[in-house]
């Protein structure tokens, strides 16, 4: 197998591109792919301050490294979820990466800052562990980015994550959520712009990248994630991909390039400030404040109208995509099936 770019011996095969690369050219391919996403979706410019939400997994650490390599002003932000050893190890790995790259890292502890951790919230609240985890992350990322004056929050969602989420939303024709599933969510009052620069790279590509670059990352999946429906959608997509390489990319990128404009008008949510924290929401209190109050056993005042409240919770949770890195990666498998 020869490298497509330099004709030297290849180490990585990317089946959907019908291409193979040597180590150096694979890194080049990853950088070019990310550059293309940043440019085509106008994610950010060279002078903007980027906050990378880092979990300690291959995708977010890989993203951080790529952005630093490309010369962007990218700081990391780690949120300690309190999931025992898993969180501890994620923190250590993230800190080591920041030190090695002499990059800024903001380290926030959910319990220290907000009084609860994810295992407790999963047991005490009415939401599933992953749901409360997802909404806590989104809330804290946005808050920290606002407080520190970042222009944009970047997350490590890859092609597989996004394709699985799109499949789930499409199977139920959740048009409002489909409308919001875009690689760029523009800023609005109280909400920092959010971007997903890895959207054109599969999970195997991000795993190979982290492996080849010698990035030390947490391979284990989150111990609380078992039975997650997104994992089933990923498995279904992988099965299709095996027989028809490129299916995943066609599904997701086809949506972004051609179908997304058709769904734009479905995102109709009117936002006003949460009466507790001021962050924009569709009801009186934001999902984060309601979830937190429930976990801590506090009262938030009169609850909003029931129908509105249910709709709002569903809407806010729909944005949730758990980073693929929480499911671990397979750096040893350097043959890309996708």
Please report how close the Cβ of residue 225 comes to ligand FES at its closest, in angstroms. Answer: 5
From the list ligand FES, Zn ion, none, partner contacted by residue 129 (C-beta under 5 to 8 A by kind): ligand FES
Counting contacts by CB under 6 A, is residue 231 touching ligand FES? Answer: no
Counting contacts by CB under 5 A, is residue 276 touching Zn ion? Answer: yes
DSSP reduced 3-state for 118: helix
Residue 311 CA to residue 327 CA, distance in Å, equals: 29
- Is residue 23 within 8 A of residue 6, CB to CB? The reply is no
Please identify, using beta-carbon distances, which residue of 274 and 321 lies nearer to Zn ion: 274
Counting contacts by CB under 6 A, is residue 130 touching ligand FES? Answer: yes
From the list Zn ion, ligand FES, none, partner contacted by residue 68 (C-beta under 5 to 8 A by kind): none
Please report how close the Cβ of residue 292 comes to Zn ion at its closest, in angstroms. Answer: 8
Counting contacts by CB under 5 A, is residue 286 touching Zn ion? Answer: yes
Instruction: Looking at residues 207 to 226 of the shown chain, list those that interact with ligand FES (rule: CB under 6 A).
Output: 222, 224-225
Identify which of 13, 82, 38 has the alpha carbon closest to the alpha carbon of residue 224: 82
Torsion on CA atoms 76, 147, 322, 169, rounded to nearest 10:
-140
Please report how close the Cβ of residue 97 comes to ligand FES at its closest, in angstroms. Answer: 18
Please identify, using beta-carbon distances, which residue of 84 and 261 lies nearer to ligand FES: 84
Which residues, 6+ apart, have CB-to-CB distance to 155 below 8 Å? 52, 53, 60, 63, 141, 194, 195, 196, 323
- Describe the crossing of helices 287-296 and 306-318 by its angle, rounded to 10 degrees: 100
Task: Give the number of residues written for the chain.
Answer: 338
Instruction: Looking at residues 267 to 286 of the shown chain, list those that interact with ligand FES (rule: CB under 6 A).
Output: none
From the list ligand FES, Zn ion, none, partner contacted by residue 289 (C-beta under 5 to 8 A by kind): Zn ion
Instruction: Looking at residues 52 to 91 of the shown chain, list those that interact with ligand FES (rule: CB under 6 A).
Output: 81
Please report how close the Cβ of residue 188 comes to ligand FES at its closest, in angstroms. Answer: 26
Residue 79 CA to residue 139 CA, distance in Å, equals: 11
Please report how close the Cβ of residue 139 comes to Zn ion at its closest, in angstroms. Answer: 8
Please report how close the Cβ of residue 132 comes to Zn ion at its closest, in angstroms. Answer: 14
Residue 227 CA to residue 224 CA, distance in Å, equals: 9
Residue 118 CA to residue 222 CA, distance in Å, equals: 11
State the CB neighbour count (10 A cutoff) for residue 121.
Answer: 25
Q: Which residues bind ligand FES (CB under 6 A)?
A: 81, 118, 129-130, 133, 222, 224-225, 326
């Amino acid at each position: 197998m020869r490298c497509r770019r330099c004709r030297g011996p290849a180490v990585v095969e990317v089946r959907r591109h019908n291409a193979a690369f040597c180590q150096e050219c694979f890194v080049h391919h990853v950088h070019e792919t990310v550059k293309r996403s940043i440019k085509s979706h106008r994610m950010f410019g060279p002078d903007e301050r980027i906050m990378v939400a880092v979990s300690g997994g291959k995708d977010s650490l890989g993203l951080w490294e790529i952005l630093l390599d490309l010369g962007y002003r990218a700081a990391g932000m780690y949120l300690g979820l309190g999931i025992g050893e898993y969180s501890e190890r994620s923190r250590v790995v993230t800190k080591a990466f920041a030190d090695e790259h002499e990059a800024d890292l903001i380290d926030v502890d959910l319990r220290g800052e907000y009084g609860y951790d994810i295992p407790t919230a999963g047991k005490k609240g009415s939401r599933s562990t992953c749901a409360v985890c997802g909404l806590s992350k989104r809330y804290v990322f946005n808050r920290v980015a606002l407080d520190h004056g970042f222009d944009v929050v970047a997350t490590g969602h890859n092609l597989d994550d996004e394709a699985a989420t799109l499949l789930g939303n499409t199977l139920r024709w959740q048009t409002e959520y489909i409308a919001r599933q875009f690689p760029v969510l523009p800023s609005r009052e109280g909400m920092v712009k959010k971007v997903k620069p890895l959207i054109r790279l599969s999970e195997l590509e991000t795993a190979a990248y982290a492996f080849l670059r010698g990035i030390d990352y947490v391979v284990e999946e989150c111990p609380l994630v078992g039975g997650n429906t997104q994992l089933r959608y990923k498995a279904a997509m992988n099965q299709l991909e095996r027989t028809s390489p490129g299916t995943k990319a066609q599904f997701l990128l086809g949506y972004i390039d051609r179908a997304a404009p058709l769904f734009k008008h479905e995102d109709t949510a009117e936002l006003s400030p949460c009466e507790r924290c001021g962050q924009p929401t569709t009801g009186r209190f934001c999902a984060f404040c309601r979830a937190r109050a429930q976990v801590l056993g506090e009262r938030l005042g009169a609850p909003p109208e029931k129908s509105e409240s249910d709709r709002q919770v569903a809407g806010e949770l729909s944005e949730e995509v758990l980073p693929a890195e929480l499911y671990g990666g397979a750096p040893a498998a350097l043959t890309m099936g996708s």
